[in-house]
């Protein structure tokens, strides 16, 4: 139970703070498909795991170069 992966839903603003980018940048990442998101009404929610995956892909790309 303690090793269960967190699947917390984050707001665009929370993701922007984690990535240290603007809200608009997060919206662009969602629109381009780089970060999957769930639409709730007029707002987006992004799974914490998807943010971590996005960060991991960026780290792997840097290691290859």
Angle at 58 between CA 16 and CA 55, to 5 degrees: 45
Domain assignment present for residue 3? The answer is no
Domain assignment present for residue 55? The answer is yes
Residue bearing the bigger pLDDT, 2 or 48: 48
The pLDDT confidence band at residue 26, using thresholds 50, 70 and 90, is very high
Neighbours of 38 (CB within 10 A): 12
Residue span of the structural domain in which 47 resides: 9-64
pLDDT computed for residue 6 by the predictor: 62
How many domains are contained in the chain?
Answer: 1
Average confidence (pLDDT) over 23-28: 98
Q: The whole model's pTM is what? A: 0.81
Which two three-digit tokens encode residue 54?
A: 């996005």
Domain assignment present for residue 1? The answer is no
Which two three-digit tokens encode residue 26?
A: 């997060």
The pLDDT confidence band at residue 36, using thresholds 50, 70 and 90, is very high
CA distance 36 to 16: 14
């Amino acid at each position: 139970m303690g090793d269960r992966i967190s699947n917390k839903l984050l707001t665009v603003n929370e993701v922007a703070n984690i990535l240290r980018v603007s809200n608009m940048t997060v919206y662009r990442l969602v629109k381009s498909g780089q970060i999957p998101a769930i639409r709730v009404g007029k707002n987006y929610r992004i799974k914490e795991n998807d943010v971590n995956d996005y960060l991991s892909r960026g780290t792997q790309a840097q290691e290859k170069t």
